């Protein structure tokens, strides 16, 4: 996986992630939609034969896009840990 910043502004961030597909894009976009201050998020995979996705994040200024991305990833990690604990307790 290789991550590159394509475009960055005060309230906007677009990143390219090489080596990933819809699974990660959809997961990250879904988690970002739960973060307060995120006004728009989307991801796309421009070509089915190329393993590259783009994630676009727009915030309202109460949080930077990078902070929102980090918060979403942390929430995803917490969700995964809760799931692991629930499975262990089956």
Report pLDDT digits (tens) over 45-69: 999 999 999 999 999 999 999 999 9
> Contact 75/61 with Cβ under 8 angstroms?
no
> Contact 20/29 with Cβ under 8 angstroms?
no
Type and span of the H or E element at 57: strand 52-59
CATH code of the domain containing 8 = 3.30.1360.10
pTM: 0.89
Which pLDDT score, from 0 to 100, does residue 17 have?
97
Which pLDDT score, from 0 to 100, does residue 65 have?
98
Q: What is the pLDDT of residues 3-34, one digit of tens each?
A: 999 999 999 999 999 999 999 999 999 999 99
Q: Work out the angle between the directed axes of helices 22-32 and 65-88 (0-180°, nearest 10).
A: 110
The total number of residues written for the chain in this structure: 90
| Contact partners, residue 29, CB within 8 Å, separation at least 6 | 41, 42, 43, 55
Which pLDDT score, from 0 to 100, does residue 82 have?
94
Number of domains in the chain: 1
Percentage, residues of the chain above pLDDT 90: 98
- Residue 9 domain boundaries: 2-88
Which pLDDT score, from 0 to 100, does residue 54 have?
98
Which pLDDT score, from 0 to 100, does residue 89 have?
92
């Amino acid at each position: 996986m290789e991550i590159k910043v394509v475009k960055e502004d005060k309230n906007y961030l677009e990143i390219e992630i090489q080596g990933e597909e819809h699974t990660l894009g959809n997961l990250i976009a879904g988690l970002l939609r739960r973060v307060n201050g995120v006004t728009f998020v989307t991801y796309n995979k421009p070509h089915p034969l190329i393993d590259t996705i783009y994630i676009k994040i727009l915030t309202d200024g109460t949080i930077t896009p990078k902070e929102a991305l980090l918060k979403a990833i942390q929430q995803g990690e917490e969700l995964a840990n809760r799931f692991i604990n629930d499975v262990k307790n089956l």
